[in-house]
Amino acid sequence: MPQVIAAIVIILVLLGVLFVASYVKVRPDKAVIITGPKGSRVVTGKATIRIPFFQRIDLLPLDLIQVDIRTSSAVPTNEFINIFVDGVANIKIQSDEASIRLAGEIFLTRTLEDVKQIAKEVLEGNMREIIGQMKLRELVQNRDKFAEQVKLSALADMKKMGLDIINITIQNFADKNGVIDDLGVDNIAQIRKDASIARANSEKEVEIATSKAKELANDARIKAELEIELQNNSLALRQAELKQKADIAKATADASYEIQYANEAKTINISKQNAEIARRDKEIELRGKEVEVEEKTLEARIKKSAEAERYAQEQRADADLYVRTKEAEAKLAEEERRAQAVKIAAEADRYSSEQRAIGIQVVGIAEAEAIEKKALAMKKMESAAVLELVLNSNVLPNIVKAASEPLSKVDKITMYGEGNSTKLVGDIVNTSTKVLESVKEATGIDLTSLLAGFATGKATQNKEEK
C-alpha cells in the first residue's frame, strides 16, 4: 500500500513538472514562434502549451526600436548643395502573424543591433534619394514634409522585412560651405523687411481698427442709450397699464362687494318688511275683530251711537292702516336707497343674513298666527263676551243712565193729567226697554233674553246650592 501511494505521488510530481515545462505565457509586447514536427505557430499576448523536447520556442520583440539615421557623407540636394542630415526613426515588428513570420525568418538569428543596422541602412538610402529631389530651402523650412516623404519611400522596403515605421523626426541640417547660414542671413533680412511691412500694416490696421472701433463704440453707445430709453418708456407704459388694470380690478371688486352687500341688505329688509306687513295684517285683522266686538257692544248701548263709534273705528283703522302702509313703503324705499351705497358682505354673511331673515319671518308668522287664533277665540266667545261686557262693564246701567240723562238737564218737571213719579219711572224703564229692543234689531243680540237666561241660571244655581 505505501508503495502505491509513493508511486502516485511520483506520478503527480512528474505531471506537475511536465506542466510547468510545457506552460508558456506570452506578454503583449512579445511574439513567440513555436516550431515542431508538424510546423510552426505564432502566439502573442496569451498563454499556450508546448511539448517539451519536441517543440522549439523562438522570441521576437514587438516593442519600439529606435534607429539613428545620420548621413555619414554629404548628400547633394536638387541644387547640388552638399548637406548633412541628422534624424531619428522609431520602428517595430508588425503585429500580424504574416509579418511576425517574415521578421522571424530574417531576424531570429540576429541581435537587436543587427536589426537597427539593417533598418538604418534602408532609411538612409531612402533619405538620400529624397534629398536629391528637394531644394535646400524647402528641406530646411519644411522638415515634416521631408520626413513624411522619407517614410513613404522607405515603408515598402521595411514591410518586406515585417517592419513598420512609426515616425521619422529630422533633427538637423548642416553644410560645410555656410549656405544654410547665408540663407539664414537672407531670411533674417527678409524677415526684418517682412516684419517692418507687417508692423506698418499692423499699425495701419490698428489705426483703422481703432477708428472703426471708436465708430462702432459710438454707434453702440447711441444704440444702447436709445435702447435704454425705449426700455424705460416701455417700462413706464407697462407700469401705467398694470396700474390701470389694478385700479379697474379694485374698482370692480369694490363695486361687486357693494352690490352684493346691497342685495343682501335688500333681501333682509324685504324679509323684515314682509314679516312686519304680515304681523300688521294680522294685527289689523285682529283689530277688525275687536272693532266688530266693540261695535256690537256699542250698538248694545245706543244704535246711532254704536254706528257712529263703529264708523269712527273703521275710519281710524283705515287711517292707521294707510299710515302704517305708507310708513312701511317709505321705510322700504329708504332702505332700498341705502342698500345701493352699502358694501356687500361676504358669502358667509349672506348665508347668515338669510338665516336671520328666515328666523324673523318665522317669528312674524308665528305672531300673526297667535293674533289670528286670538281673534278666532274672541269670535267664538262673542255672546259670552257681550254678556260679560253688559254685566261687568256697567253697560246696562249706562243704558238706563243714557235714557234718563235728559231728565238730569231739567230743572223742574210739571206733570199734567194722570202723570206722577211712578209713571215717570215707568217711562224711563220703557225707554230703556226700547233701547234694548233697538240693540236687538241693530245687532241681533237679545240682551233681554241674555239677561233673563243669566238670571234664571243664577237662580237655579242658588237653588241647587241650597
- Global pTM reads 0.38
Tell me the per-residue pLDDT of 304-337, one tens digit each, with 9 for 90 and over.
665 667 777 777 777 777 777 778 777 777 777 7
Residue 257: all three cell numbers together = 362687494
DSSP 47-76: EEE--TTTSEEEEEE-S-EEEEEE-SS-EE
Find cell 300673526 and name the residue.
Answer: 368
Q: How far is CA 384 from CA 17, 211, 415, 450, 455, in A?
A: 149, 127, 42, 9, 14
Q: Encode the chain (466 residues) as per-residue pLDDT tens digits.
A: 777 788 888 888 777 777 777 778 888 888 888 888 888 888 888 888 887 878 888 888 888 999 998 888 888 988 888 899 999 999 999 988 889 889 888 888 888 899 999 999 999 999 999 998 988 888 888 889 999 999 999 999 999 999 999 999 998 888 888 887 777 665 666 666 776 787 778 777 877 888 888 888 888 888 888 888 888 888 888 888 888 888 887 778 777 777 777 777 778 777 777 777 777 777 777 777 777 777 777 776 666 665 667 777 777 777 777 777 778 777 777 777 776 766 665 666 677 666 776 766 666 677 667 656 655 654 544 555 555 555 555 555 665 565 556 555 555 555 544 555 555 556 655 665 665 666 566 556 665 666 666 556 555 555 555 4
421-443 vs 447-465: helix axis angle to the nearest 10? 110
Tell me the per-residue pLDDT of 93-144, one tens digit each, with 9 for 90 and over.
998 888 988 988 888 888 889 999 999 999 999 999 999 898 888 888 888 9
Rounded distance between C-alpha atoms, residue 180 and residue 151, angstroms: 24
Ramachandran assignment for 304, one of left (phi > 0), alpha (psi -120 to 50 degrees), beta (any other)? alpha
DSSP 282-299: HHHHHHHHHHHHHHHHHH
Find cell 263676551 and name the residue.
Answer: 385
Every domain range in the chain assigned CATH 3.30.479.30: 64-177
| The domain over range 64-177 is classified in CATH as 3.30.479.30 | yes
